[in-house]
């Protein structure tokens, strides 16, 4: 059997149409969403939200997590621990209580 050679003019439109087809195929999503897949994604997102809300450091008002490290040494909304202890000792002394350190 004899091989037949086609001229370049014949191959150019075929190559162009294949290139366009390839570009169109790349634009199509890999797989179409089904009803069940959308429900599964929503379920996973709801599960994450539930876990976040169960976390005690989650602030429901702002929707963020409270960074407890900011409270250390009075940089946040809590006074430094040493000042709190000093005030408590002063309150106890005023009330007539003795601390275990003094005994």
For the segment 18-51, what is each residue's pLDDT rounded down to a tens digit?
A: 999 999 888 887 776 677 888 888 899 988 888 7
Instruction: Provide the 10 A C-beta neighbour count for residue 92.
Output: 13
CB 74 within 8 A of CB 80: yes
- Tell me the C-alpha distance between 66 and 60, whole Å: 10
pLDDT digits (tens, 9 = 90+) for 39-89: 888 899 988 888 777 777 777 677 777 766 655 555 555 555 677 788 888
| Residue 29 resides in a domain | no
Place of tokens 């439109």: 13
Q: How many domains does the chain contain in total?
A: 2
- Tell me the C-alpha distance between 10 and 8, whole Å: 5
pTM listed for this prediction: 0.30
| Residue 18 resides in a domain | no
Q: Do 73 and 62 sit in the same domain of this protein?
A: no
Task: Give the pair of three-digit tokens for residue 59.
Answer: 């602030």
Longest Cα pair distance anywhere in the chain, in angstroms? 115
The parent domain of residue 86 ranges over 68-97
């Amino acid at each position: 059997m004899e091989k037949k050679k086609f001229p370049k003019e014949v191959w150019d439109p075929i190559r162009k149409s294949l290139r366009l087809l390839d570009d169109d195929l790349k634009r199509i999503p890999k797989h179409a969403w089904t009803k069940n897949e959308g429900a599964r994604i929503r379920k996973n997102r709801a599960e994450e939200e539930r876990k976040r809300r169960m976390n005690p450091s989650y602030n429901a008002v702002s929707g963020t997590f409270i960074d407890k490290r900011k409270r250390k040494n009075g940089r946040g909304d809590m006074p430094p621990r040493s000042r709190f202890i000093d005030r408590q000792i002063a309150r106890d002394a005023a009330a007539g209580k003795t601390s275990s350190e003094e005994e």
